[in-house]
């Protein structure tokens, strides 16, 4: 994504001083979310392993940790699994495969892809390109100049369709030389393109033609980091004086899912591809090419058994506030750490069940709990014991994601 490095830093102190109490949760869609959460957990628990199998899994993990590179490759080959990627990632892949076998309670060779049921039928990858300059000021108003979508069919793990439209900027209609060189987008391409409001209509027509915004098909949007939706799209809708699209209020941050699933630090597209043993195809900072490469990363996660679930979204009022004001926290993050890639201790503790080695993660909500209040209190016990009650409630509200439609 162009100009991401120059995005205005969020004031984290304001976020951490906000109070999210149980009354707030009660008056949101938390009840619906907890019901759905129980369903997902019960589905996992219904196929969870017994204590004997848990001991086997623990033993397998220890054996895998002690394996050499050659031994890991041999075992992956024997299991007909991909052998591309760094050693740590290969070991995680092998562990997920063994866990899939235990969840199946058999050794028929079914892969994690065949074991875990994905939540969405389609995943739509988006990576905007925006106006930028080499020495731009901190409050530079970026305008979207490329709107790409790469559509993944989850069941077949293939790219089935793409959309691409350039956008004509209004505030700074002449692209800087730096922007053109960085993105590969020419002045002629944006001059011939529609302005953003028309582009957004074309995007929604494209999505509706494929029934991707209807309730009949479950589709989630995927980005690399929070900036596409939380900053660039929000700013563009503000500048264009149009309503922020409802379907873009929640999304899957793939670098967060990647870091959580493979137990590694969050990183950018090139680093994720490198860890997977893959190369970048195309021109860096081309929106379409970036989206295709993000789709490649996403498909590898699916193949290895990562259950992808929305992990970031806007608060209800954020899309109507001033995105140029750097004091406003525009992101409702599942772990409350906003844009800081180093804070991952509690990353996706609720939504990334499958990435954990210990099956104790399948028992976040006990069967004996009967009310939403009890569920909330129980979930709060999962939070670090060193935090205050206020911090725990705030942290909990971050975990109760996916509240917007």
DSSP state letters, 200-238: HHHHHHHHHHTTTTSTTS-EEEEESSSHIIIIIIHHHHH
Tokens of 88: 């740590």
Per-residue pLDDT at 390 = 47
Give the separation between CA 356 and CA 273, rounded to whole angstroms.
22
Per-residue pLDDT at 313 = 85
CB 17 within 8 A of CB 391: no
Indicate yes or no: pTM above 0.85. Answer: no
CATH code: domain 57-104+111-115 is 1.10.720.30
Q: Dihedral (C-alpha) 63, 66, 72, 78: value to the nearest 10 degrees?
A: -20
How many Å is the Cα radius of gyration of the chain? 22
Task: Identify the CA nearest to 97 among candidates 71, 72, 125, 66.
Answer: 72
Task: Identify the CA nearest to 352 among candidates 384, 403, 402, 311.
Answer: 311
Task: State residue 296 phi and psi, 5-degree precision.
Answer: -60, -45
Other beta carbons within 10 angstroms of residue 71's beta carbon come to 13
- Hey, which residues are catalytic here? 129, 285
Per-residue pLDDT at 101 = 80
Per-residue pLDDT at 320 = 53
Spell out the domain ranges in the chain. 57-104+111-115, 122-316
Other beta carbons within 10 angstroms of residue 187's beta carbon come to 13
Give the separation between CA 391 and CA 378, rounded to whole angstroms.
15
Q: Which fold has domain 122-316?
A: Nucleotidyltransferase; domain 5 (3.30.420)
Query: At which residue do the structure tokens 């162009």 appear?
Result: 2
Residue pLDDT tens, the chain, 405 long: 555 444 333 333 333 333 333 333 333 333 344 344 445 545 544 444 566 667 888 888 899 999 999 999 999 999 999 999 999 999 999 998 888 887 776 555 566 666 678 889 999 999 999 999 999 998 899 999 999 999 999 999 999 999 999 999 999 999 999 999 999 999 999 999 999 999 999 999 999 999 999 865 689 999 999 999 999 999 999 999 999 999 999 999 999 999 999 999 999 999 999 999 999 999 999 999 999 999 999 999 999 989 999 999 876 555 555 555 543 444 444 433 333 333 333 333 333 333 333 233 223 322 333 333 333 333 333 333 344 444 444 444 443 333 333
- With 0-12 CB in 10 A as exposed, 13-18 as middle and 19+ as buried, what is 98? buried
Per-residue pLDDT at 99 = 83
Per-residue pLDDT at 323 = 59
């Amino acid at each position: 994504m162009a100009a991401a490095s120059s995005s205005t830093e969020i004031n984290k102190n304001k976020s951490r001083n906000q109070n999210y109490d149980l009354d707030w949760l009660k008056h949101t869609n938390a009840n619906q979310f907890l019901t759905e959460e129980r369903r997902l957990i019960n589905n996992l628990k219904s196929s969870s392993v017994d204590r004997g199998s848990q001991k086997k899994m623990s033993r397998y993990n220890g054996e895998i940790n002690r394996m050499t590179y050659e031994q890991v490759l041999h075992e992956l080959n024997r299991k007909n699994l991909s052998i591309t990627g760094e050693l740590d990632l290969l070991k995680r892949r092998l562990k997920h495969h063994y866990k899939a076998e235990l969840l199946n309670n058999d050794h028929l060779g079914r892969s994690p892809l065949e074991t875990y049921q994905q939540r969405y039928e389609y995943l739509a990858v988006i990576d905007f390109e925006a106006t930028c300059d080499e020495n731009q000021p901190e409050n530079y108003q970026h305008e979207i100049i490329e709107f790409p979508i790469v559509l993944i069919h989850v069941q077949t793990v293939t790219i089935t369709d793409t959309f691409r439209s350039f956008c004509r900027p209004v505030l700074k209609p002449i692209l800087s030389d730096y922007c053109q060189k960085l993105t590969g987008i020419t002045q002629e391409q944006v001059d011939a393109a529609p302005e953003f409001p028309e582009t957004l209509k074309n995007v929604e027509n494209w999505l509706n033609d494929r029934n991707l915004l209807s309730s009949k098909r479950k589709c989630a949007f995927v980005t690399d980091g929070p900036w596409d939706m939380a900053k660039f799209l929000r700013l563009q809708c503000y500048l264009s004086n149009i309503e922020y699209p409802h379907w873009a209020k929640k999304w899957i941050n793939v670098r967060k899912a990647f870091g959580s699933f493979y137990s590694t630090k969050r990183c950018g597209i090139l680093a994720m591809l490198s860890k997977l043993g893959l190369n970048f195809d195309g021109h860096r900072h081309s929106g379409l090419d970036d989206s295709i490469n993000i789709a490649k990363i996403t498909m590898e996660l699916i193949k290895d058994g990562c259950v992808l679930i929305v992990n970031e979204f806007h608060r209800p009022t954020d899309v109507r506030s001033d995105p140029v004001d750097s004091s406003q926290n525009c992101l409702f993050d599942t772990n409350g750490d906003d844009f800081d890639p180093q804070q991952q201790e509690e990353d996706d503790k609720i939504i990334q069940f499958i990435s954990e080695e210990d099956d104790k993660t399948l028992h976040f909500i006990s069967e004996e709990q009967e009310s939403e209040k009890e569920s909330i209190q129980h979930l709060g016990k999962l939070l670090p014991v060193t935090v205050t009650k206020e911090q725990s409630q705030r942290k909990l509200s971050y975990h109760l994601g996916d509240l917007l439609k």
